[in-house]
Structure 1
Amino acid sequence: MIKAELKQKYYQALIEKNSEYEGLFYVGVKTTGVFCRPTCPARKPKFENCEFFETAKEALLASFRPCKRCRPLSHPNHVPETVRMLVEAIEANPEKRWKERDFEYLSIDASTARRQFKKRFGMTFVEYARARRIGMAMKQIREGENVIDAQLSASYESSSGFRDAFSRIMGAAPSQLGNGQVLKAEWLDTRLGPMVAIAGDEALYLLEFVDRKGLEREIERLRQKTKCAIIPGSAGPIRSIAEELHAYFDGKSKEFKTPVHYLGTPFQKSVWDELRSIPAGETRSYAELAAAVGKPSAFRAVAQANGMNQLAIIVPCHRVINSDGGLGGYGGGLTRKQWLINHEKQGN
């Protein structure tokens, strides 16, 4: 039974379409007989016409049917069929340079593809395809092929055009990259909303909720510190963490074995290591964490190191709370922090 004060909080989240509440509740609308997720774009019902549920199953058992607009039985931010088809087409032939007739062949409207890709990835389909082509070119350059060969493979007839496009996406011209690494970025749907994962061939560098404030700055810092290009694509560590996250949210596992790469000072790294030693289902105060790393008076620095963590859930900064029992801060939002703490306590 959901308490009255929690219903008020859920209703406010519904009005604001607050993505932090994805997966935490569903709302049944008595006047229409449908149930929705918190971020549903449909017109909002009055509070007295709402019935709140913790799971979709509860809503179904209460005779509500799933909303056709927000599709509550699918993942948050469900990938449209158009996007899925085009991503698969790019992966089948990543060097292809797309033209209008290619969309016609797939019975896809080019403007629809542009709009849906922009909403999903923050770039148009053409920009996505170009990034993928240049990623292939980057791989060729790293493996020792001539820049001109890579340029032709990426379908650029003009060398200046290739350099400009390459620099815009990669952050450096081909001749300046040498043997520099390329990092891949992929969108992962989770019960608490979408996350972005960035990894190289050997380790995961970043895992964050997409709606985290300052995510763009985090990614830019990552690009600058690693001197790497970041392009759409998958990598072994991303596939690994996707499987582990699935098991985590299903309550089947609380361990993460995907290799990670820290980007921080020795002190920050010591804090992150200590965070990973906190058992799932337990919490520590910032003061306790400072004492554990041998800096008992540095609890503010510990809190700052928590905020600089770029590996959400894996490096569990959500397990650190205030000494008075308050939640403190969390980049992914306090609602998610409370959910993660409660989720990890289950079964302990």
Structure 2
Amino acid sequence: MTLTQEKRDEYYQALVEKDSTYDGIFFAGIKTTGIFCHPTCTARKPKYENCEFYLTAEEALLAGYRPCKICHPLSFPHEIPDEIKRLVQAVEEEPEKRWQERDFRDLGLHSATARRKFKEIYGMTFVRYARSRRMGLAFKEISNGSKVIDQQVATGYASPSGFNDAFTKIMGNPAKRTDISILYAYFITTPIGKMLSLSDDHYLYLLEFTDRRGLERELEGLRKSQNFRIIPGKNDINQEVERQILLYFDKKLKVFDLPLFRKGTPFQKDVWALLEKIPMGEVRSYKDLAHDLGDENKVRAVGNANGANQLAIVIPCHRVLKTSGELGGYAGGLERKQYLLNLEKEIKEELC
């Protein structure tokens, strides 16, 4: 979530004063070292301009920061068992790795026990931690937008191919073909979190919150099915996406006008077409959409199609509720869903 200037000032003061009342409230990412810390970390305090602040450890991980070895920010308020330290160290040594049962055995650990302890201490599953660290590194390189050779030197790889291999593992391994197309990745900062925009020179292929469940699978699926290579870039379409998204959050836009690439089955595309017809400030139920498609028994299928939408906000899957009126699911999180619905009511009142 985007913090106000006042809140950032407050958190920096707490960091400088090592105020223990803020431990567990926020985490400080230090740009110059690439680590994130507790407010009470005993390390030398950085300058204000070198700090970024996060409300959760996952946000810091997704921003590309690694946990500090001095204050162990993820351990608050617990001590870390040796086996958990070994897991965290193993992730740092090979952040691109997708963990399997044998990897736990190679460390001399029982996977079920290690996973349970990890969740108890860190408040997140080990799979989620490893994924967030992996995605964070990839996002950091995209966000930096620096030349490949600069990224290569900064990350310590001896050759461009070494860096590219690691980056490819983190972002997903495309098919070995010669007709590779380019997708340009760009980050958009919104009041409710950072979004990733992927486009070529013709279409917007993906717009998602960076902490969305399943985003890594979406990226891999997109790369493999279309044989894309993802590189940093702010092309005309990404710039237009940013312009319209910021107008939307500023309550100055009711209808998006973007060239969208809808990757899905005919049924999914039918559902998404109905979503786009839901007026700003209004909602529908999954049952309503199933009825409009001619079969009220397809409520579950409608829900699955809703969840498969890869173009958040612009194809408004957040406008669909349970028949009971409850929010239902939303891969970006229910707090975001409620925020968007409230925002759109205000937009409707102001722009109608």
Report TM bin, short chain: 0.5 to 0.7
Does residue 206 (structure 1) correspond to residue 206 (structure 2)? The answer is yes
Q: Which of these two proteins has the greater Rg computed from alpha carbons?
A: 1
Q: Classify 1:34/1:273 alpha carbon distance in 2 versus 1 (closer, same or farther; 3 Å).
A: same
The answer to whether the 8 Å contact 1:170/1:229 transfers is no
| Residue matched to 1:294 | 294
CA-CA distance at 1:303 after TM superposition: 0.3
Alignment correspondent of 1:232: 232
State the shift of 1:235 in Å: 2.1
Q: State the superposition RMSD in angstroms.
A: 4.4
2:196 touches 2:208 (CA, 8 Å); kept in 1? yes
Structure 1, 278-287 or 231-240: larger mean CA deviation: 231-240
Instruction: Give the whole-Å Cα distance in 2 for the aligned partners of 1:128 and 1:273.
Output: 38
Residues 217 and 120 (structure 1), Cα distance of their counterparts in 2 relative to 1, 3 Å cut: closer
Give, in angstroms, the shift of residue 188 of structure 1.
Answer: 1.0
Corresponding position of 2:101? none
Following superposition, the deviation at residue 42 of structure 1 comes to 7.4
Structure 2 match to 1:197: 197
In 2: Cα distance, 1:159 partner to 1:344 partner: 46
Percent identical among aligned pairs is 39
Match of 1:16 in 2: none
Measured against aligned partners, the alpha-carbon deviations of 1:249-294 in whole angstroms (never above 9, x if no partner) come to 0000121111010111000011011100000100000000111122
Classify the secondary structure of the residue corresponding to 1:243: helix
Distance 1:159 1:331, change over 3 A: closer
Distance 1:250 1:181 in 2: 34
Deviation at 1:236, TM superposition (A): 1.9
The separation in 1 between residues aligned to 2:285 and 2:162, in whole angstroms, is 54
Q: How do residues 260-299 of structure 1 correspond to structure 2 at under 5 angstroms?
A: 260-299=260-299
- Residue 263 of structure 2 aligns to which amino acid in structure 1? L
- 1:166: how far off? 9.6
In the alignment, is the contact (CA less than 8 A) between 2:142 and 2:185 conserved in 1?
A: no
AA of the residue aligned to 1:121:
F
Letter aligned with residue 315 of structure 2: V
How do 1:120-199 residues align onto structure 2 when only pairs under 5 Å count?
A: 121-123=139-141, 129-130=147-148, 171=173, 177-199=177-199
Q: What corresponds to 1:314 in structure 2?
A: 314
Residue 89 of structure 2 corresponds to none
Which ranges in structure 1 are unaligned for 5 or more consecutive residues?
1-18, 47-66, 81-116, 135-157
Q: 1:124 to 1:230 in 2, by over 3 A?
A: closer
Q: Identify the residue that residue 241 of structure 2 maps to in structure 1.
A: 241
Matching of residue 257 in structure 1 with residue 257 in structure 2: yes
Over 3 Å counting, the alpha-carbon distance change for 1:257 and 1:160 in structure 2 is closer
How is 1:79-158 mapped onto 2 (pairs within 5 angstroms)?
121-123=139-141, 129-130=147-148
Post-superposition CA distance 1:101-133 (Å, at most 9, x none): xxxxxxxxxxxxxxxx96683449999532899
In structure 1, how many angstroms separate the alpha carbons of the residues matched to 2:189 and 2:142?
Answer: 20
Change (3 A) 1:305 1:27: farther
Structure 2: segments with no counterpart, 5+ residues:
13-17, 24-47, 64-134, 153-158
Match in the other structure for 1:342: 342
- Find the aligned partners of 2:339 and 2:196 in 1 and give their Cα distance: 19
- Structure 2 CA distance for partners of 1:44 and 1:212, relative to 1, 3 Å: farther
Equivalence for 1:95: none
Cα deviation for residue 319 of structure 1 reads 0.2
Structure 1 Cα separation of the partners of residues 149 and 286 of structure 2 = 42
Contact 2:272–2:306 (CA under 8 A) maintained in structure 1: yes
1:294-341 deviations in Å (ceiling 9; x for gaps): 232101000001111100000101000011110000011000100100
Equivalent residue runs for 1:317-336 within 5 Å: 317-336=317-336
Asked whether the equivalents of residues 192 and 336 of structure 2 are also in contact (C-alpha less than 8 Å), the reply is: yes
**Structure 2 length normalisation: TM-score?**
0.56
Structure 1's 290 and 118: CA in aligned 2 closer, same or farther, altered over 3 A? closer
Measure, in 1, the Cα distance between the counterparts of 2:143 and 2:298.
47
How many angstroms does 1:233 deviate by?
Answer: 1.4
What per-residue deviation string (whole Å, max 9, x for no partner) do you get for residues 134-157 of structure 1?
A: 9xxxxxxxxxxxxxxxxxxxxxxx
Task: Provide Cα deviations, 1:21-76, integer angstroms capped at 9, x if missing partner.
Answer: x46x99979xxx9489xxxx975459xxxxxxxxxxxxxxxxxxxx986579xxx9
**Distance (Å, rounded) in 2 between the aligned partners of 1:281 and 1:222:** 31
Query: Which residue is 1:107 aligned to?
Result: none
Q: After the TM superposition, which of the residue ranges 122-131 and 188-197 deviates more from structure 2?
A: 122-131
Q: Which moved more, 1:300-309 or 1:120-129?
A: 120-129
Report if the CA contact (8 A) 2:145-2:232 is conserved: no
SS in 2 for 1:189: strand
Q: What is the SS of the residue equivalent to 1:264?
A: coil
Give the aligned residue type for 1:333. Answer: G
Q: Secondary structure at the match of 1:252?
A: coil
Pairs aligned (count): 237
Residues 1:338 and 1:43: Cα distance change in structure 2 (over 3 Å): farther
